[in-house]
Amino acid sequence: MPESLARPQTGRTELGVVVMSYEEYVTLRWPTLYRTAYLMAGDHADAEDLVQSTLVKVYGAWDKVSRADSADAYVRRVLVNTFVSGRRPVRFTRERIVAAVPERAENVEGPEDRLSIWPHVAALPPKQRAVIVLRYYEDLSEQQIADALGCSPGTVKSNASLALASLRARMEGARS
Amino acid sequence: MSIDDLLTRELATVARGVEPPPAPVDQLVARGREARRRSRWYAAGAAAAAAAVVLGVVWSGATGGGDDARRQDPAGPAGDLPTGALPQVPIQVGTTTYVDGRALAEKYGPLVGDGQGGVALVPATRRWRVLTEPGEPELPAGTVGSPAPHPDGDRVAYVDRTGTLELWSYDGTRDQVISGPTPARESLLAGMDSSGNVYVTALEDPAAPPRVWNLADERDRPVTYAGAPVSLVGVTGAGLLFSTEPGGEHLLGVPDATGAIVEARGVPDATLAVSASGDRVAWLTDTQEGADGRLPSVTVEKLVGPPGRVVIDLPDGTGAGDVVWEDETHVLVTLFRDARGTTQSLLRCDLDGACEYAVPPPD
């Protein structure tokens, strides 16, 4: 589970509202955003591109973002939309389907606990993958995911359902 | 262990194993400043042309000829946009489903098949339900993947667990049954086009080279272009969206009786919709306001005849979710606002760029 995305109590105060500088925010949130981006993009190069593109976009709106009820929700939305709209489904599925698990993953778990579903997550279409990451890693509700994706909760539900069906089928296929 | 638990555990494991590089704060600030500078320049230019304008239209006589584009008189601010008839094709805006020009009171799951053929197909409990037919008939249980409405609107195709492709009529009869050559779990219906072609790919790899059945001869063949298998991008009523290599240019074409696509035309790599006739393509140029000041817009371009393109900026403060064709001369664009607002609306625009709300934003 990622660290809490609640706004930290740092930065200058204006009219009783804690306002963080852009630099503070980037420093503080970079690791969390990077990990989420990695789970979506599947490799370090794409993850770094994704987070950087997101934060450059956010810079221009920082006055507004920093005063938002949840700067993290705003940034997450930019991140997810940058990921989904910037991806070519074909390229993504074709390239990611053979993506290896992260180098260190096998060291974290024993041989009996090898990652069995992550390689299949990596092969999902971008929107389904974003839903899976937001739901199972960020632990967001359907409404929060819908807000992040700019779609209805029903669309989130259907994407999750399709993703899970696909993952089950892929795992069965891998076993047989 | 359930798949939910497995996902939670493995995503956390992978994330723990990721060591982020140092945050390039200075670099991001520099890039952000540059992007904002360009944005301000753009905003100043736009303001001179259309202060307080929310909708603007750019017409270019040449395909892709942005240099020759000229901005026409703006259609007026979003608040002044008229509200027209409800959408005439199946579509969902927020949690409301619109069918046959009316808003349904009941909440449904997502429409599948983009309302092709005017068919509203939604998931029901373990089945698929057709909202646009009297009695709202349901498909048999046990379909694999999503079914696809026939472009004529009179049947729905699906693949069952045995790998068999079936065409299902609303009275419950199965018009045509085609047994697939591949194991059941590998079959995945990709869609149908207006030429009677049914495209199927592999569940294990939805982007695998598709095969095509032509309903006239009931044989399936691999789809090829220039003698080589293609990569699947999607299916529209006007034909197959494909590329010649993963990540390559997106093309639109229709296979002949041998499965070969002889003629193809380029289309954007974007959220798009091709009109039923195949004459025009509409796509979302930018779905959200960019750091460089680009506004969300929808572009409509002719695919046949003399080239022509219309770029329609969307109402200020909105993002675009999807675009569909209502008929040959109107596109519908679903709009959303900031995540905290979550209001949604539907814009209808004609080929001259004149727009109205089919579903206005909530007050």
Query: What are the strands of the beta sheet with B224-225, ordered from one edge?
Result: B228-229, B224-225, B260-267, B250-255, B239-243, B231-236
User: Are the Cβ atoms of B35 and A59 closer than 8 angstroms?
Assistant: yes
Sheet containing B155-160: give its strands across: B143-149, B155-160, B164-169, B174-179
Q: B249: nearest CA in chain A?
A: A88
For the record, the structure tokens of B140 come out as 């048999």
Chain A residues in contact with B25 (beta carbon < 8 A): 23, 26-27
SS3 A122: coil
Q: Is B204 helix (H, G, I), strand (E, B) or coil?
A: coil
Chain A nearest C-alpha distance from B77 (Å): 23
The answer to whether residue B54 scores a pLDDT higher than 60 is no
Compare CB distances from A56 to B4, B28, B206 and report the shortest one's residue.
B28
In the structure, what pLDDT confidence band is assigned to residue A111 with cuts at 50, 70 and 90? Answer: very low
pLDDT at B290 over 60: no
Count CB atoms within 10 A of the CB of residue A120.
22
Helix (H, G, I), strand (E, B) or coil at A22: helix
Average pLDDT over every residue of A65-85: 83
* Top-confidence residue, B174 or B92: B92
pLDDT at B362 over 90: no
Within 54-93 of A, beta carbons closer than 8 Å to B belong to 55-60, 62, 68-69, 73-74, 77-78, 81, 85, 88-91, 93
- Evaluate whether B17 touches A102 at the Cβ level (below 8 Å): yes
Burial B172-201 (b: 16+ CB within 10 A, else e): eeeeeebebebeebbbbbbbbbbbebbbbb
Give the one of A27, A91, A118 whose C-beta lies nearest to B246's C-beta: A91
For residues B114 and B89, give the distance between their C-alpha atoms in angstroms, rounded to a whole number: 9
Rounded Cα–Cα distance for residues B118 and B306 (Å):
29
Least confident among A64-73, B151-160, B352-361: A64-73
- B213, two tokens: 């059945």
Instruction: For residue B268, give the chain A residue with the closest CA.
Output: A88
Top mean pLDDT of A14-18, A93-97, A114-118, B78-82 is at A114-118
Helix (H), strand (E) counts: chain B: 2, 29
Name the residue with higher pLDDT: A103 or B28. Answer: B28
What gap in Å lies between CA B274 and CA B238, rounded to an integer? 7
Hey, is the C-beta of A101 within 8 angstroms of any chain B C-beta?
A: yes
Cβ distance A68 to B340 less than 8 Å, yes or no, reads yes
B233-250: average pLDDT: 84
Dump the DSSP string for B291-337: TT-PPPEEEEEESSSS--EEEEEPPTT-EEEEEEEEETTEEEEEEE-
Sheet with B70-71, edge to edge strand ranges? B70-71, B57-60, B309-313, B297-302, B280-286, B272-274
Question: Which residues 38-67 on chain B approach chain A with CB closer than 8 angstroms?
Answer: 39
Name the strand (E) or helix (H) holding B174.
Answer: strand B174-179
pLDDT of B34 strictly over 80? no
Query: What is the rounded CA–CA span in Å between residue A94 and residue B206?
Result: 9
CB contact under 8 A, A31 and B20: yes
pLDDT of residue A148: 87
- Using DSSP, state whether A142 is helix, strand or coil: helix
Is residue A142 within 8 angstroms of chain B, CB to CB? no
Contact call for residues B232 and A90 (beta carbons, < 8 A): yes
Q: List all residues of chain B from 235 to 264 with a beta carbon under 8 Å from chain A.
A: 243, 246-247
Q: What is the pLDDT of residue B8?
A: 92
The closest CB to that of A88, out of B35, B185, B247, belongs to B247
Q: B11–A118: do the CB atoms touch at under 8 Å? A: yes
If you average pLDDT over every residue of chain A, what do you get?
72
Strand residues in B55-110 grouped as ranges (E): 57-60, 70-71, 91-93, 96-99, 102-103
The tokens of B87 are what?
């959408």
The predicted pLDDT at position B77 comes to 34
Of the two residues B52 and B66, the one the predictor is more confident about is: B66
Query: By mean pLDDT, which of A72-76, A151-155, B77-81, B146-150 is the weakest?
Result: B77-81
**Count of C-beta atoms within a 10 Å radius of residue B230:** 26
At residue B204, the pLDDT reads 61
Strands B344-350 and B96-99: unpaired
Closest-CA distance, A6 to chain B, in angstroms, reads 16
More confident position, B281 or A151: B281
- Percent of residues, chain B, with pLDDT higher than 90: 17
Size of interface A-B (CB pairs under 8 A): 192
Cβ B185–A172 below 8 Å, yes or no?
yes
Percent of chain B with pLDDT over 70: 78
Q: How do residues A23-40 score in pLDDT, each as one tens digit?
A: 888 988 899 999 999 999
Distance from CA of B23 to the nearest CA of A (A): 6
> CA B261, CA B220: separation in Å to the nearest integer?
14
Tell which of B1, B8, B9, B18 to mutate to test the A interface (max A CBs under 10 Å). Answer: B18
Beta-carbon separation of A58 and B107 below 8 A: no
Closest Cα in chain B to A114:
B10
Nearest CA to B14 out of A105, A17, A121, A107 is that of: A105
pLDDT digits (tens, 9 = 90+) for B247-269: 678 899 999 989 999 999 888 87
Q: What average pLDDT does the segment A99-122 reach?
A: 50
**Residue B293: which pLDDT band, with cuts at 50, 70 and 90?**
low
Q: Which residue has the higher pLDDT, A77 or B338?
A: A77
Give the whole-angstrom CA distance, residue A100 versus residue A45: 14
Pairwise CA distance, residues A155 & A84, whole Å: 14
- The residue that leads in pLDDT, B39 or B245, is B245
Chain B nearest-CA residue for A146: B339
